[in-house]
Amino acid sequence: MRFFTSLTLRAFIAIALVACGARNSRADEYQYGADSEIHDVPHGVVTKHEIVSGKAYPGVHHNYWLYVPAQYDGKTPAAVMVFQDGGGFQNPQGAFRVPVVFDNLIAKKQMPVTIAIMIDPGNLPALDGVKSQSRGERSYQYDTPTDRYARFLIEEVLPKVGQEYKLTDDPNLRAICGTSSGGICAFTVCWERPDAFRRVLSSIGSFTNLRGGNQYPDLIRKTEPKPIRVFLQDGEQDLNNFAGSWWIANQDMAAALEFAGYDVRFDKGTTSHDSKQSGPLFPEALKWLWRDYGKPIEKPASAKQLINNILIPGEEWQIAAEGYKFTEGPAADADGNLYFTDIPNDKIFRIDSNGIAAQFAQKTNGANGLKIGPDGRLYACQGKSGRVVAYDTKTAREEVIAEGIHDCNDLAITRDGAIYVTAPLKGPAGPGQVWYISPKHEAKIVDETITFPNGIGFTPDQTQLVVDDTRGVNLYLFQIAPDGSLKHKEPYYTAQIPAMQKDSGADGLAMDTEGRLYVTSH
């Protein structure tokens, strides 16, 4: 045990009090303003409800509170704002004072007429009542970066509330807010479903590795931009524990969003993992988030983001054809026709240069991957028959190129007419195969080391071959020897495994003339 002299002890206490006083004075700098106080304006009503999830979280109970503003007339659809950990937000004397702030800002038209849905995290009751422990769902629901919670709101909560109140279906008039794990949850909802929610308010958000949310800054920098607006708040004394540093994580989020050109505001504070800053800041955050609420939120267009230099500016994704069971193997010929397979229907279809889809071939023996060869013919892997065939693009006449390739799946063809084929399922014994078919149609196995080889393609000079592994995380790069064999295999590329997935799901792939690799995955 260590003892202090009286002088040392007095000095220690003095230093501690100074430090404590400095910290308190910094926290006290955040004061509630007029918009957080009750005024003589129309007041909304808060009521309590319950919902038991039947889809996203079967059997899980959620309490929720509805704030309905006085200006809601029952005729015009109201804007919507969802709050996680709703029990804290519904309290007019709480840290955020949601009913009070909403009353004031709606009265001043600084936000639209908005119904607030303040919902608590779920709880799964024990089957035998009080004898066993119930299951708290907060971290599972909030920290898991998937679309599950978004689907819960969109498919269950909003329709239930919509039975009594008219709610907008305009994503620009839907916002979502939360603190801590509720903050990352709010971001995830908008990130996964910008077609339904586009305004995010996150306070002390848990963008750390609780359940994989630390990947967001990386994904934001690489993913196609989304039409969302993000308000972030955090304090420099926030948590620093086994999952990471909340302060650093929020800075990483803000930096990534700024890099990608998003409409983002990050209010940095001096507080800890609390609402001392975000509570008083709440009215200002809402004004920023809802500003120009009559105008749609646009996708960012930062030139720094690589994908913006690849996609065609101003063009959205369009459905080219639909109504099929399982489409695969898109391949385009020199005339601008796109071919693809519908495996369960045993057919190949073609979309012509005018965008019209029609059947090209039928009874294709489970045709899967397709490629146009140097001779202009359409080559296909027939999974049912274990054959590689070539179709004349004018007559659909079929010629067998090679056979005996069990579970023939996808293929790549060199300029000289040599073919590489993936066969994922060798059988119950395990790893799949990569086959080589020479220009003289002589077939041999050239690799049996990949668990589930699937997508396959060449580097632009066709001296190296890329093969992905659907059931793994790596994509493998081989050098191609003069005799067609594969050498010097490396796990050269690494795919990302999303939360709640056991593998990357890597499937079809292609490489452009500049050597950029494109891979479909989970």
How far is residue 160 from each of residues 47, 84, 119, measured CA to CA in Å? 14, 17, 13
Give per-residue pLDDT as tens, 144-176. Answer: 999 999 999 999 999 999 999 999 999 999 999
Mean pLDDT of 14-30: 47
Task: Provide the pLDDT confidence category of residue 13 given band limits of 50, 70 and 90.
Answer: very low
d(CA 83, CA 197): 13
* Contact predicate 84/142, CB 8 Å: yes
DSSP structure class, residue 151 = H
| pLDDT band of 253, cuts 50, 70, 90 | very high
- The DSSP bridge partners found for residue 522 are none
pLDDT of residue 312: 86
Predicted pLDDT at 83: 98
Asked if 368 and 329 count as a contact pair (C-beta separation under 8 A), the reply is yes
pLDDT digits (tens, 9 = 90+) for 468-492: 999 999 999 999 999 999 999 999 9
pLDDT at 7: 38
Eight-state DSSP code of residue 347: E
Q: How far is CA 506 from CA 112, 286, 328, 371, in A?
A: 43, 41, 13, 19
Residue 8, pLDDT score: 40
pTM for the model stands at 0.89
What are the tens digits of pLDDT across the range 438-465? 999 999 999 999 999 999 999 999 999 9
Q: For residue 285, how many other CB atoms are within 10 A of its CB?
A: 21
Which pair of structure tokens corresponds to residue 478? 């081989």
Check whether 19 has a pLDDT greater than 50.
Answer: no
Structure tokens at 481: 């020897």
Residue 336 clears pLDDT 90, i.e. is over it: yes
Instruction: Give the domains, in start order, of the chain with CATH numbers.
Output: 23-309 (3.40.50.1820), 327-519 (2.120.10.30)
Between 157-161, 221-225, 507-511, the lowest mean confidence (pLDDT) is in 221-225
- Report the amino acid identity of residue 147: D
